[in-house]
Chains A and B, each alone.
Chain A
Amino acid sequence: DAGVTQSPTHLIKTRGQQVTLRCSPKSGHDTVSWYQQALGQGPQFIFQYYEEEERQRGNFPDRFSGHQFPNYSSELNVNALLLGDSALYLCASSLFGQENEKLFFGSGTQLSVL
């Protein structure tokens, strides 16, 4: 049973560029959430996708956008990259509507903005 998979594992970009990160959820899961984890800090919620729609959004600017596909996989797009966007980007999947819903995380994409 494949867990949550993310690609690429590492990425180096320069300021002003755009980046797309990809995530495939754990088998049987239909909901994908994205988190940003700066070095030495806990993950911060970016947004959640269910049924191909953004359901919840954290305190992130519109430069951060996403998409969910019919097979439940998801993309995170960041435009006009800033140095402060350097972080580990984590994707988590779950099964929507479960009272004891549990999130399972991928290994993340390490983004470095130079």
Chain B
Amino acid sequence: QKEVEQDPGPLSVPEGAIVSLNCTYSNSAFQYFMWYRQYSRKGPELLMYTYSSGNKEDGRFTAQVDKSSKYISLFIRDSQPSDSATYLCAMRKAAGNKLTFGGGTRVLVKP
């Protein structure tokens, strides 16, 4: 079993809809949680960074962390075709530690 599980999708939504993404993990030692966006043949781009449990909002993006359930989420409001990409969750145990990634969810936003 992988340490971090993520539904591979694809997740197809109409333009303007809310995109809901999530990851589950098994290791309670993870403290720092991130969401990256990756376009085809490009490197991952950091979208959201959260420490421990709670919510964080940045523009159209909201990240949630529930450590008690070992579950993290990313919501994208008012989705645009340019949001079509693969979204990767990542987490680490402490500062300086390696990142452990989920497998990524492919998102398609249709005009």
Residues of A at the B interface (CB closer than 8 Å) are: 4, 31, 33, 35, 40-45, 48, 55-56, 58, 88, 90, 92, 96-108, 110
Q: By the criterion CB–CB under 8 Å, are B95 and A42 in contact?
A: no
**Given A96-B96, A101-B95, A41–B103 Cβ distance below 8 Å?**
yes
B98-A108 in contact (CB<8A): no
CA distance A100 to B90 in the complex (A): 14
B43-62 CB mask vs A (1 if < 8 Å, else 0) is 11110010100000000000
Q: Answer whether residue B73 sits at the interface, using C-beta atoms and an 8 A cutoff.
A: no
B88 within 8 A of partner (CB): yes
Tell whether B80 is near chain A: CB-to-CB under 8 Å.
Answer: no
| 10 A-B pairs in the complex with CB atoms less than 8 angstroms apart | A4-B43, A35-B99, A41-B103, A42-B103, A55-B96, A56-B97, A88-B41, A97-B96, A105-B36, A106-B43
Q: For B46, give the chain A residue with the smallest CB separation.
A: A102
- What is the predominant secondary structure among interface residues of chain A facing chain B? loop
User: Considering only CB atoms, which chain A residue lies closest to B41 in the complex?
Assistant: A110
Chain A residues, CB < 8 A from B99: 33, 35, 43, 45, 92, 103
Q: A41-B103, A42-B103 are in contact. Are A104 and B46 (CB under 8 A)?
A: yes
CA distance A44 to B98 in the complex (A): 9
